[in-house]
Structure 1
Amino acid sequence: MFAHLTFSQTKPTSWGHTTTTGNSDPNFITSYPPTTKGESAAADLAEFFKPTTRWDNPPWYHTPSGIPPPLDGKPERYVSSWQSRGSIKTTRIGVLFSDMSVFWSAVTYSLTNPENQRDVKRQAWFLPRPKSLDQATLVEAHETYGDTIALFAESFLGTGQYCARGECWDLANEALKYFDQYDYIPKPVPSISRTHGHLIYEGKASKKGKEMVGRWRGGDDRIRRGDIIEWRTARITSVNAPGSYTILGDPEHTAVIVSNSKVLPNVGDGLSIPPSALGSLTVVEQSVGQPPVRKDYNLLGLEEGEMWIYRPIGFEVYLGISDLTPTPPESLPRIQQI
């Protein structure tokens, strides 16, 4: 018997990695994560593995990548493995999507006649998007990861050195990867596309700030140190210096929040709150040509664009799995099988 295991992560270089916008959930108001036909990206991929779905030849599962065609190339976070016994081979993949749904599959077939799909056994499992969490759980996540993430970002201030490639996204991604060296700390959910954990807030502004809309997610009552913010094509004017403004995102920008916000009254899971109500955010950010710096942004000045704020959180706490593997967990209440 032979076996092989591979891991892959693709670092996004632009928002263009997601080819569609919007979301099938009518409560979502922003252009990310990408549109799905069903309840999640993992559920959509599971449809491809139903017995009624025809697979064309040549067989995709007998290619070097072994990646299903609906994924259109390498997904941004996946693991794969294969094993063979005689002429029988089984390929497996696990995929973590940007909407935090998870997918697993196994395809068993004959190496002597891989195109004979009547003898192919296909299996698929998936986890739906996780539900939003209560305040106690989100505060515990902050206490576990928040200060370390903020300190990691702040450690570059004044050094003139970039984090990793110098891309804005690297600061958040590398901060989350920093926990890999501590085996006594539960593994956090990694950066996947523009997602960095549990969504806390999403909002947008248009018409020079005359129109603002936003939504709170989860049970916490504030933004906290170590949360991670994503901007898309945002324009923020300076409240204290009329005529001065900052563009965040061409089209996207990532930063690490390094101070707690004020306690936000009347917030709750799913409730509407405009970006202006969040007040000022202090972040550490970098970009190509600009090493990490500390910046303050008053969201009263948000005129255009979109924003998302994430709470870094443990894999096990949020998704119910300790890590992404090519095989699904043996027992997990939320898991669904095709």
Structure 2
Amino acid sequence: MTTHGSAALDLAHYFSPTIPWTNAWYNASGVPSIPPPLVGNNHHTYTSAWKTRGSNKTTHIGVFFSDLSVFWGTVDFTTTAPEDQSQVQRSAAYLSPPKPLPRDALIHAHETYGDTIALYAESFLGSGQYCARGECWDLANESLKYFSDYDYIPMPIPSISRTHGHLIFEGKASNGGREQVGRWRGGDDRIRRGDIVEWRKVKIAMKAAPRGSFYTLGDPDHTAIIVSDCVPSTSPKDAASLSPSEVGVIAVIEQSQGQLPERREYDLSCLEEGEIWIYRPIGMKAYLGVSDITAVPPERCEGLQRLLNCTLKRNTQKKNLFYIHVLKVIYSG
């Protein structure tokens, strides 16, 4: 959950001059300069850089969050007094999470990445080998990284926590499956081969099996690659309600510690408990407007918002006078 609408904007608020910083985290030596709000948070990827000129030092950070928002921060300070906040200048830039895409863009993403991802997962069937460490998440992560071998194909959004691209469907079930809710995202009308499914604490009954037989998926999370198209029984529209039962049967390649990659089918009408998300792998540049996350923000990018320390404003509303920083927001596109 976020406070201000996205993880990047939450961190941008931390860079507001009105928020006190109690230590010089930006002056770390020999380790990455990590803002305190990110410590212990594994739902992001992170990069940092710094430069010095005499006693003046600038630290840059770039953060890509699992909600697909992006943050860049810059801290200018003096190494002779790094904790002196009167000599520290902060600035930030961020991209909000992207909006759902229309059908043509999502089909293009599928045509670019889908079959390669599915074939990558299928290549492990019968091989007697795990993908990478054998963790379920590795199938998704490694299949997306695989495109780095092809410099003529734009890199897709990498796996970040449980996020693997453009969200297509999210749903959940409770009360033994008697309660199911879900929502469709984007303009495509189906789940496609090469999409990636993420489960959380799922209990799903086995169809055509003895009564009471079920799978448990996710402790707490489980990841798999979808290898067949799946057309919902109800024609889906962006942001429209769609229950897991209406999605139908999904065929996947999955693995876990102690279980080599194998193909399974799951009938979502049998979903009894837990949550599910389905993602469409998609180009990072095409969806976010940036092709990589660097420590310094791009000069221009559609939707980029910059927050800069610009002035000191005297507050005369109260008896005791004090100064507050004003945060300036510049929209660039």
How does the TM-score come out when normalised to structure 2? 0.89
Question: 1:250 and 2:241 equivalent?
Answer: no
What is the alpha-carbon distance in structure 1 between the residues aligned to residue 191 and residue 63 of structure 2? Answer: 29
Question: 1:42 and 2:11 equivalent?
Answer: no
**Residue 131 of structure 1: SS of its match in structure 2?**
coil
What is the alpha-carbon distance in structure 2 between the residues aligned to residue 61 and residue 324 of structure 1? Answer: 19
Residue correspondence of structure 1 range 1-338 to structure 2 within 5 A: 35-57=1-23, 59-64=24-29, 65-73=32-40, 75=42, 76-241=44-209, 242-262=211-231, 264-338=233-307
What is the letter of the counterpart of residue 48 of structure 2? S
What is the alpha-carbon distance in structure 1 between the residues aligned to residue 36 and residue 207 of structure 2? Answer: 49
**Residue 125 of structure 2: SS of its match in structure 1?**
coil
What is the alpha-carbon distance in structure 2 between the residues aligned to residue 81 and residue 144 of structure 1? Answer: 33
Q: CA deviation at 1:111?
A: 1.2
Larger strand proportion, structure 1 or 2? 2
What is the letter of the counterpart of residue 11 of structure 2? L
Q: CA deviation at 1:245?
A: 1.1
What is the letter of the counterpart of residue 174 of structure 2? S
What is the alpha-carbon distance in structure 2 between the residues aligned to residue 74 and residue 99 of structure 1? Answer: 13
Q: CA deviation at 1:246?
A: 0.7
Q: Is the 8 A contact 1:201 1:310 kept in 2?
A: yes
What is the alpha-carbon distance in structure 2 between the residues aligned to residue 314 and residue 297 of structure 1? Answer: 28
Q: CA deviation at 1:160?
A: 1.1
- Provide structure 1 residue ranges, at least 5 long, that are not aligned to the other structure: 1-34
**Residue 176 of structure 1: SS of its match in structure 2?**
helix
What is the letter of the counterpart of residue 295 of structure 1? R
Structure 1 stretches (4+) deviating beyond 6 angstroms?
none
Q: Is the 8 A contact 2:173 2:179 kept in 1?
A: yes
**Residue 208 of structure 1: SS of its match in structure 2?**
helix
What is the alpha-carbon distance in structure 2 between the residues aligned to residue 263 and residue 200 of structure 1? Answer: 12
What is the letter of the counterpart of residue 248 of structure 1? L
CA RMSD of aligned residues (A): 1.1
Q: Is the 8 A contact 1:133 1:219 kept in 2?
A: yes
For this pair of structures, how many residues does the alignment match? 303
How does the TM-score come out when normalised to structure 1? 0.88
What is the letter of the counterpart of residue 215 of structure 2? T
**Residue 292 of structure 2: SS of its match in structure 1?**
coil
**Residue 177 of structure 2: SS of its match in structure 1?**
coil
Q: CA deviation at 1:262?
A: 2.2
Q: CA deviation at 1:264?
A: 4.8
Q: CA deviation at 1:157?
A: 0.2
Q: Which region of structure 1 is more displaced relative to structure 2, 109-118 or 216-225? A: 109-118
What is the letter of the counterpart of residue 145 of structure 1? Y
Q: CA deviation at 1:289?
A: 0.2
What is the alpha-carbon distance in structure 1 between the residues aligned to residue 38 and residue 100 of structure 2? Answer: 26
Aligned match of 2:330: none
**Residue 273 of structure 2: SS of its match in structure 1?**
strand
What is the letter of the counterpart of residue 26 of structure 2? Y
Q: Is the 8 A contact 1:201 1:309 kept in 2?
A: yes
Q: Is the 8 A contact 2:233 2:248 kept in 1?
A: no
What is the alpha-carbon distance in structure 1 between the residues aligned to residue 216 and residue 248 of structure 2? Answer: 18
What is the alpha-carbon distance in structure 2 between the residues aligned to residue 125 and residue 264 of structure 1? Answer: 43
Q: Which region of structure 1 is more displaced relative to structure 2, 160-169 or 259-268? A: 259-268
